[in-house]
Amino acid sequence: MSGVGKGIAAASIGKILQSKGFKVTAVKIDPYLNVDAGTMNPVEHGEVFVTVDGDETDQDIGNYERFLNMDIYRDNYMTSGRVYQSVINRERNLEYGGKCVEAVPHIPMEVISRIDRAAEKANAEIVIIEIGGTVGEFQNVLYLEAARMLKFKNPGDVAFVMVSYLPVPSKIGEMKTKPTQMAVRAVNEVGIQPDFLLCRSTHSLDAPRREKLAMFCNVRPENVISAPDVDSIYDIPINFEKEDLGNKILKILQIDPRQQDLVEWRAFVDKINAATEIVKIGIVGKYFESGDFILSDAYISVIESLKFAAWENNRKPEIEWINSDVYEKDPAKISELSNYDCLVVPGGFGSRGIEGKIAAIRFARENKIPYLGLCYGMQLATIEFARHACGLSDAHTTEINPHTLNPVIHIIPEQAEKMANKQYGNTMRLGAYPCILKEGSLAREIYQQERISERHRHRYEFNLAYKQKLEEHGLVFSGTSPDGELIEIIELPKDQHPFFVGVQFHPELKSRPLSPHPLFVGLIKAGLK
Ligand code: GLN
């Protein structure tokens, strides 16, 4: 079932097997018809994660990258839209040699060939494959068929892990196993027998329920694994290992572990637990509501990056989401921002709440609160500086005001053409691009490198016509594309502000537990000072 923790379970299993000495990669299968996640609303679907090679994927790819501490590529992300598109293209090219092309077996065969390709590209010995959605629904049945075919062809090479949710209805106070029994029956119907059950619940699994699940789901009792809610998702690999999950999976795959597991990971988790002193971080953005619920997954990479950076600085992060609309309705409230050690304005699109964000950035700049602007947060910092430090009072981005006399942020020329042709899918400036850092700048000091590579997802950019003017008033353009045509980083001089940095890219997509991103680490460090 979606949202129950399949992604983290998959990433954790990957981590465990990787730490036992195997080359691992992970594949995400999303059954929807969108070709990628780029055209989906992040409020409903969660963050759009961008890979090095510019794919706009589900946030689980981000979980895999963070847990496995490696880059995951386009080939590792599959949607029904993508799978059908390639089968249909192949049919149009007469590549099926005159055969009738059918949902079965051609779709599952395409799925399997994509899995093979991902494995080959990553040179992986073990591939973790996460099938999204819920067992029994129409849209993932062809993926389950692909999984069945895989096991049929390679019986000793495939292990099935089913993640199931066991409710504890509050009025009854007892963990119910029946939905899981029914779900196992539903996968049995498509020819799959789980080797493991990961029992997600608010509570740990007790002995009687383990026995019952084993008996009625046809799974060995030692392979019925308890997966209760935890405070930190980073505990999950360790919790699974308490039940020896890694070795049990390897046994089914008929291979022996090569080394002791999770050594570095345990040190990382110890560091989390040792951090007790707080660092207070404010993220200024717009509010995300869906009916009665507030969904926070839209910025998962930003939030996790801030946590890694806090832990790296031996601090416990206290992260608050600040609704920028508030400062538009009640400007006096802005002074509450003094309560934070540092502030972030993350990426975004559209006009809602942006004047509030600009006000927050101004407050951070004038009151010397460490500030990191990510993509839109960089563009809005530029606008703020142009308006209030250079006197260009109507400075804006043409995304919001196409008629401004001072378009300090404007559309990238190729992007204008794509928008005019309504080509929205996978057409932004996407993926990793190099950036050169200016000697003597804060950015250069933070990265300790002259040339960096960071991931992008945007249509607008800094308008070079304003570079000189903004420089004259003290803004530093400390990172540019190698040809100098695109501004990648802006900052204030170190003697004027402890940390005021805006980046056109998304460093949050590269920050990982075992290698936190230097920009976030630098922000927190400045905040603590
Ligand atoms: N809306 C801005 C652009 O398209 C910023 C995008 C972002 O923050 N990812 O350029």
pLDDT mean over 100-128: 97
How far, in Å, is the centroid of ligand 1 from the Cα of 349? Answer: 6
The pLDDT value recorded for residue 290 is 59
The pLDDT value recorded for residue 318 is 96
Please name every residue paired with 27 in a beta bridge, in sequence order, or none if there are none. 129
Looking at the CA of residue 399, tell me the nearest atom of ligand 1.
1
- pLDDT tens sequence across 264-278: 999 999 999 999 999
Looking at the CA of residue 375, tell me the nearest atom of ligand 1.
8
pLDDT at 238 over 60: yes
How far, in Å, is the centroid of ligand 1 from the Cα of 277? Answer: 34
pLDDT at 2 over 80: no
The pLDDT value recorded for residue 338 is 97
Q: What angle do CA 25, 36, 164 make, to 5 degrees?
A: 60
pLDDT band at 387; cut points 50, 70, 90? very high
Q: What angle do CA 51, 396, 328 make, to 5 degrees?
A: 95
CA distances from 440 to 131, 232, 263, 496 (A): 48, 39, 38, 14
CB 29 within 8 A of CB 111: yes
The pLDDT value recorded for residue 69 is 97
Cβ 458 under 6 angstroms from ligand 1: yes
How far, in Å, is the centroid of ligand 1 from the Cα of 505? Answer: 9
Cβ 505 under 6 angstroms from ligand 1: no
pLDDT band at 288; cut points 50, 70, 90? low
Question: Atom 9 (ligand 1): residue with closest C-alpha?
Answer: 347
Cβ 459 under 6 angstroms from ligand 1: yes
pLDDT band at 142; cut points 50, 70, 90? very high
Q: What angle do CA 179, 181, 182 make, to 5 degrees?
A: 65
User: Best mutation site among 399, 486, 506 for ligand 1, i.e. most ligand atoms within 8 A of its Cβ?
Assistant: 399
The pLDDT value recorded for residue 41 is 84
Q: How many CB atoms are closer than 10 A to CB 354?
A: 23
pLDDT mean over 500-527: 98
User: Best mutation site among 301, 401, 457 for ligand 1, i.e. most ligand atoms within 8 A of its Cβ?
Assistant: 457
- pLDDT tens sequence across 415-462: 889 988 898 888 899 999 999 999 999 999 999 999 999 999 999 999
Positions marked catalytic: 375, 506, 508
Q: Which amino acid is at 248?
A: K
- pLDDT tens sequence across 301-346: 999 999 999 999 999 999 999 999 999 999 999 999 999 999 999 9
Please name every residue paired with 281 in a beta bridge, in sequence order, or none if there are none. 319, 342
Both tokens of residue 104?
Answer: 């079965």
Helix axis angle for 80-92 and 103-122, nearest 10°, is: 110
Cβ 508 under 6 angstroms from ligand 1: no
Question: Atom 7 (ligand 1): residue with closest C-alpha?
Answer: 347
How far, in Å, is the centroid of ligand 1 from the Cα of 363? Answer: 22
Both tokens of residue 5?
Answer: 């923790």
Nearest in space to 285 (alpha carbons), one of 183, 373, 191, 405: 373
The fraction of the chain above a pLDDT of 90, given in percent, is: 91
Average pLDDT, the chain: 95
The pLDDT value recorded for residue 42 is 81
User: Best mutation site among 375, 380, 429, 462 for ligand 1, i.e. most ligand atoms within 8 A of its Cβ?
Assistant: 375
How far, in Å, is the centroid of ligand 1 from the Cα of 342? Answer: 22
- pLDDT tens sequence across 161-216: 999 999 999 999 999 999 999 999 999 999 999 999 999 999 999 999 999 999 99
Going 464 to 466 to 470 to 472, the CA torsion angle's sign is: positive
